Amino acid sequence: MNYFSSNFKLGILGGGQLGKMMLYHTRKYDIYTCVIDPSKDAPARLACDEFRVGDLLDYDTVLDFGKHVDVLTIEIENVNIDALETLEDEGIKVFPSAKTLRSIQNKAQQKLFYRDHNIPTADFSRFAYTSEIEEAVENGGLSYPFVWKSARFGYDGMGVKIVKRYTDLIDLPNVECIAEKLIPFKNELAVIVARNRNGDLKTYPVVEMEFHPEANQVEYVICPARITTEVAKKAELIALKAASAFKHVGLLAVEMFQTENDEILVNEVAPRPHNSGHYSIEASYTDQFEQHLRAILNLPLGKTENKVAGVMVNLVGAENHEGNVVYKNIEKIMAMDGVTPHIYGKKQTRPFRKMGHVTIVNADISEARKIAEKVKRTIEVISD
Summarize pLDDT for 92-150 with one digit per residue, the tens. Answer: 999 999 999 999 999 999 999 999 999 999 999 999 999 999 899 988 889 999 999 99
Span 185-383 CATH architecture: 2-Layer Sandwich (3.30)
Summarize pLDDT for 231-282 with one digit per residue, the tens. Answer: 999 999 999 999 999 999 999 999 999 999 999 999 999 999 999 999 999 9
Binding site, by residue number, is 107, 149, 180-183, 188, 267-268
Binding site for ATP, by residue number, is 107, 149, 180-183, 188, 267-268
Is 123-181 a CATH 3.40.50.720 domain? Answer: no
Summarize pLDDT for 41-64 with one digit per residue, the tens. Answer: 999 999 999 999 999 999 999 999
The span from the CA of 282 to the CA of 360, in Å, is 8
In the chain, list all ranges with CATH 3.30.1490.20.
123-181
In the chain, list all ranges with CATH 3.40.50.20.
9-94
Q: What is the CATH number of domain 9-94?
A: 3.40.50.20
Summarize pLDDT for 307-320 with one digit per residue, the tens. Answer: 999 999 999 999 99
> What's the pLDDT score for residue 156?
59
